Structure 1
Amino acid sequence: MGMSVRDVATRAGVSVGTVSNVLNRPDKVSPHTVDKVRAAIDELGFVRNDAARQLRAGRSLSIGLIVLDVSNPFFTDVARGAEDRAAEDGLTVLLGNSDENEDREAAYLDLFEKQRVHGVLFSPVGDAQSRLDALHRRGIPTVLVDRPTTDERFSSVAVDDVAGGYLAARHLLDTGRRRLAFVGGPRDLHQVADRLAGATNAVDETADATLEYIATDALTVLQGRQVGEAIRERDAVERPDALFAANDLVAMGLLQALSMVGPLTVPGDVAIVGYDDIDFASAAVVPLTSIRQPSALIGSTAVDLLLREAEAPDEFERQHVVFQPELVVRDSTAPKV
């Protein structure tokens, strides 16, 4: 059975309040008494119950972070940025992977509420209005991550994905491609819809260009490979000469299917652009052109906004930070000859 604060007080010959002061406000206790209490703690092997202390205080020292897909290195980098910033204030980050599933997302939100987290960083699945309403009613500081919003009740940190989609398609058009295809889904993911909208805007500017939408069930390497295999089987006149993937994982699958099996080459027959510029993009068998997002900065900025809201929820004016994406050109989109 673990030792209690009362046991420590008895061993040191002081009051329970004095032990509490040594643990939490040692500057208020004489050095001699501090030494006595710490000696008793060492002798008894006492371990403080931080969880109980935090619950009594009404708020824990943890921040909840829910991402769409923890296997995507983009979200791993977002989490790293959030962790580094949270650590500066003595906080930890609890990571939840919704896997683009609303039920799992709801379960994590319930868990974080029970844990009385300091706040929630949230990259929601689909239309999350009901879940956002619930967070607001419960008074839980919340920042939307990788998702812009016009809801003035919440701060948000995102990248202009419409601009990113435009950059990707415009680059493909500038290399001489005209039969473009956008690969990714589900379409109710805000990021997918915005990137497709941006690509559509670029194609609409070019009279002889077309844009095909090829949906996937998820944004994974496997889904990209399956689409690539199907494209590989098409007749040349029906095959796109350029592919814009909704993220780098899908782009990697496309690249594998098109460049590693069969007669097609990348970028000779088909150019490919990804999105996120994960570390693997530059190390692919054909280095991948991609749209770069400041992933770690997204995470750290979200924590900044969350801490400011938690400090003064009634006075803090919610902010909507939107970073601009950057085109990173590599071998997968060499100009068409």
Structure 2
Amino acid sequence: MAAPVRKVRLRDIAEATGFSINTVSHALKGLPDISAATRAVIRAKAREMGYIADSVAGSLRSGRTRTVAVILGDMANPHFGLWVRAIETEAFAAGYSTLVMNTDEDEAVERAAIRTAAGKRVDGLILCPAQQTRDNLALVRQTGIPYVLIGRRFEDDSSPYVVPDDVRSGFLATRHLLERRCRRILMLNGPAWISSARERQLGYCHALDEAGLPCDPNLIRHSGVKSGQARAALEQVLSEQLPFDGILAFSDLMALEAMACLRQHGRDYQALPLAGFDDILSGLDLPVDLSSVRAHESVATRAFHNLAAQMEHNPGSPVQTVLDVVLIEHRSKA
């Protein structure tokens, strides 16, 4: 059995380069008291020897872990995966690692994730809240960890957040379907307790009102946002034989599920105008027609930048950001 490889220490690099342990330590940290030439020699030798800094020891000395927790609702949704990628890109560039946790839109799981983040002593937290109650928001505040809510917000609350303009999102998507001659638009919405669902519904009703059409409550159906739940809501509509000539879905994932459901029922889903939110098709090459609304800039990137300002103790940095939105039309190449 091979003997375990011994971890390279600062002492080993010092002996290999002829510099003191203190000089080696300062060079690897990039401190200004070490010349550029000396720093280059020491870092080259450290790479050659396979040195890996002890982040745990460093965090004990500095009181910081250089880690950000990212707590999201359903990682089966590509939209959340795109958020994670954007956050990790920005975090890495700023010298942070990430701890990503999935809540499955369950408040108990979310609560456990927040406690895990606090136990790991993360420096910051980005949370897309499940929102059934405000209990977990209170828990986040109790931890004292800098945080930013992403994608959802609480009314009459001072918490920092980054969200797209969801009222305008709902308006733009509905107006687009109206321009495609839809008059009975089925809205497959998320749960009413989710802020983005409520706000998109306001935009939907506003666009219908502007067009002189009623906002028929029977055409607004709420479902869970996890994979497969939108299909059940549409199955119910089809069983009722409720007429509709377009679909506005709470998310692109729900819109894709609607297409699959319609095809299973022998409906020509390609002839039915559909619109969603999140623009996941920009990252996926799928042969489908689906219009979608997204923020002009990355919600996730802005969320990390706003959090970083808090973590760096920037006075007055906790802010509430609403990003402008744009409609994107995806046309099938098939």
For each residue in 1:194-220, what CA deviation from the matched residue of structure 2 results, as whole angstroms up to 9, or x when unmatched? 222221222334245635122223342
Structure 1's unaligned 5+ residue stretches are 333-337
TM-score (structure 1 length as normaliser): 0.80
Match in the other structure for 1:324: 324
Q: Which residue matches 2:191?
A: 186
Q: Measured at CA, do residues 298 and 37 of structure 1 come closer, stay the same or move farther in structure 2, by a change above 3 Å?
A: closer
CA distance in 2 between partners of 1:126 and 1:232 (Å): 29
Q: Percent identity?
A: 27
1:51 aligned to 2:74?
no
> Relative to 1, partners in 2 of residues 1:262 and 1:33: Cα closer, same or farther, differing over 3 Å?
closer
How far apart are the structure 2 equivalents of 1:51 and 1:87?
18
Q: Is the 8 A contact 1:101 1:125 kept in 2?
A: yes
Give, as a single letter, the amino acid of the residue that structure 1 aligns with 2:179: D
The change in CA–CA distance for 1:266 and 1:282 in structure 2 (over 3 A counts) is farther
Task: Return the match for 1:64 from 56, 62, 69.
Answer: 69
- Give the letter for the 1:250 counterpart: M
Quote the residue 1:273 is aligned against: 275
Q: Report the secondary structure of 2:274's partner residue.
A: strand
Alpha-carbon displacement from aligned partner over 1:77-119 (angstroms, at most 9, x marks no partner):
2222212222222112221111111122112211211222121
Is the 1:180–1:209 contact (alpha carbons within 8 Å) kept by the matching residues of 2? Answer: no
Partner SS for 1:69? coil
Q: How big is the shift at 1:262? A: 4.4
CA contact (8 A) 1:185 1:219 kept: no
The answer to whether structure 1 residue 223 and structure 2 residue 261 are counterparts is no
Closer, same or farther: CA 264–26 of 1 in aligned 2, 3 Å: closer
TM alignment of 1:34-183, pairs within 5 A: 47-127=52-132, 129-148=134-153, 153-183=158-188
Confirm or deny that 1:264 pairs with 2:264: no
Letter in 1 for 2:175: R
Assess, with a 3 A threshold, how the Cα gap between structure 1 residues 127 and 230 changes in structure 2: closer, same or farther: closer
Deviates more, 1:176-185 or 1:6-15: 6-15
- Match for 2:295 among 293, 296, 303? 293
- Given the alignment of the two structures, is residue 213 of structure 1 paired with residue 215 of structure 2, yes or no? no
Per the alignment, do residues 26 and 293 of structure 1 end up closer, same or farther by CA in structure 2, a change over 3 Å counting?
Answer: closer
Q: Is the 8 A contact 1:219 1:247 kept in 2?
A: no
Out of 239-248 and 143-152, give the one that drifted further: 143-152
**Counterpart amino acid of residue 302 in structure 1:** A
Structure 2, unaligned runs of 5 or more: none
Deviations 1:38-91 (A, max 9, x none): 979977x76432122113311111111111122222222222221222222211
- Aligned residue in 2 for 1:306: 307
Corresponding position of 1:335: none
* One-letter amino acid of the structure 2 residue matched with residue 55 of structure 1: L
Q: How many residues were matched structurally? A: 324
Deviation at 1:248, TM superposition (A): 0.7
TM-score, normalization: structure 2? 0.81
Structure 2: distance between partners of 1:46 and 1:327: 49
